[in-house]
Amino acid sequence: MEENEEETIVIACLLAEEEEEKAKNSRKRKHNIWIHDIFKKRSQRGEYHTLFPDLLNDDAKFFQYFRMTQVKFNTLVDILKPHLLRQNTAYRETIR
């Protein structure tokens, strides 16, 4: 094999390794996002924090929205609460 051919093969191998490393790094970057930007402001702009307080003040609208009375809703919440409670972690805040 000529020296020029050997150089071409070495360069091709190095380029292939570089492309493989780039592909591997791009796949890793996709997993770095724990929470999408759209959900970061849910504690200020989410439905629970904006609509729910208003529904609590209007029994008819509450029933229309949830298809149950506030008493039944609170009873259901009390039954489910122990099974749904989560704790905040260093990575993400729980949904309340």
DSSP notation for 5-72: HHHHHHHHHHHHHHHHHHHHHHHHHHTT-SS-GGGTTHHHHSHHHHTHHHHHT-HHHHHHHHSS-HHH
Query: How far apart are alpha carbons 11 and 13 in whole angstroms?
Result: 5
Query: How far apart are alpha carbons 10 and 7 in whole angstroms?
Result: 5
Q: What is the mean pLDDT of residues 43-54?
A: 86
Question: pTM, whole model, 2 decimals?
Answer: 0.49
What are the domain boundaries of the chain? 1-32, 36-96
Q: Examine the pLDDT at 94 and tell me if it is beyond 90.
A: no
pLDDT in tens, 11-43: 888 888 888 888 777 665 555 567 777 777 877
Task: Label residue 62 by pLDDT band (50, 70, 90).
Answer: very high
